[in-house]
Amino acid sequence: MGLFSIFQKSPENFEEAADRCFNNGDYGSAKIEYDRALARAGKKSPENIALIRRLGDKCRKAREALAGSHLETARELLMTGEHDEEAYELVSLALDLTEDETLTRNLLALRGDTHDGRDLNRELNQTADAVTGDAGGPIIEDHEDGDEDDYFFILCSILPDEIQDAYHGFSPAFREGFVALNSGDFETAADRLEDAMDENDDPDGLIPPELATALINLGRYETARQLMEPFIQHHPESIRGYQILCDIYWEQKAYDRALSLLGSCPAKLQASLQIQLLISETLYLKGDFKPAIRLLSTWLNDYGYNEIMARSLAKTLEAAGEIYAARDLYAQIIKGCASCGSRTDPFIRRRYAELCFQAGDQPKKLLDLFLSLTQEDPDNKKEYYYRIQQLYDKMGDAAESRRFLEMAEALDARGK
């Protein structure tokens, strides 16, 4: 990415955005953001196997959720008897997304195809090859010309109908820029989307957010700001517009400007999860932890448990030094994941373990937790070994304490 590569978002930044989208049922946007996160991790942190594995799992989960959503929409369209072509297009898109055999059978049945086992296995393999690489990650780069049209169509299919229609009406420059943006090639995206701004009549202002996203990833925050401030004036109900502008203001440390922006959004947006998250994150970055805690706690009390809001509150409590409250909330998040059958993010378990250690919880209780983390999160194994050494030391087991200290120091010496 040239000179601007040092300013680019981390994989975790994209992952947080994707988590918010997925939690809100916006599986299409979540898929795009998880794909971006995985691509960034593959380029910038190829040694971070745990991160890549976690993002790969989330990518697959988003694809399956999106495929299931396409199946339900296709069923509804077929029931009308007037939108068969659109329904079959959605079925084809879902087949490209899913690796689940049951879902694939349901999609094929809906399409009216008959396959023997050999044909079905071939289609399943082709589906998996289409959406995963050798390491199981999504292929989102290096599109051939023909593939680029297909990829553009898939990207547009997850957008609202009116936006789809507009995007399909734009020039080839927009199509190339939009595909490049979603493939992580931000320099090409910025060049082609700037061309698209010049070439296309865009009365609804749909191109600026795409161009601003590319510019942000290139570190060109001031140019992006000059695009997005007029945009939000004409589109005061655009959640995405607020998210992009806040991203810019945060980078520029213009926290008061961000709070003023969010405070001026329409009243019906004020209580939305997205705006409340943006306000709380702005306060967190500014270091105003107490008002952020009040905001997040009030939202959770009024609207019920939400994992994304709970995670934001937990990290804010921790930053404010309220380690017992943060520990208990991380425990609630872990319990919630266990009850719904999903795998807990190792980061959450890591923070929980660390806060339990700081709170002076019983060493025997913590030992199993840190030992399990050495397997779940091997990239941070050295830190876990040091903690395990300290726990054995507290328990008076000098031999095990010495053994884990030597293991930690060995990793330290190798730079791991």
Tell me what pLDDT residue 118 has: 31
pLDDT in tens, 206-224: 999 999 999 998 889 999 9
Tell me what pLDDT residue 227 has: 95
pTM of this prediction? 0.70
Residue with the bigger pLDDT between 153 and 389: it is 389
Mean pLDDT score of the chain, rounded to an integer?
A: 82
CA pair distance 372, 376, nearest whole angstrom? 6
Of the chain, the percentage scoring pLDDT greater than 90 comes to 42
pLDDT in tens, 118-128: 343 334 344 43
Residue with the bigger pLDDT between 161 and 341: it is 161
pLDDT in tens, 94-116: 888 888 888 888 888 887 742 33
DSSP 45: -
pLDDT in tens, 142-198: 445 546 677 788 778 777 888 888 999 999 999 999 988 887 788 999 999 999 999
3-state DSSP helix/strand/coil percent for the chain, to nearest 5?
80, 0, 20
Give the start-end residues of each E strand in 99-199: none
Tell me what pLDDT residue 140 has: 41
Contact 301, 336 (CB under 8 A): no
Is residue 339 very low, low, confident or very high in pLDDT (cuts 50, 70, 90)? Answer: low
pLDDT exceeds 60 at position 139: no
CA pair distance 79, 67, nearest whole angstrom? 19
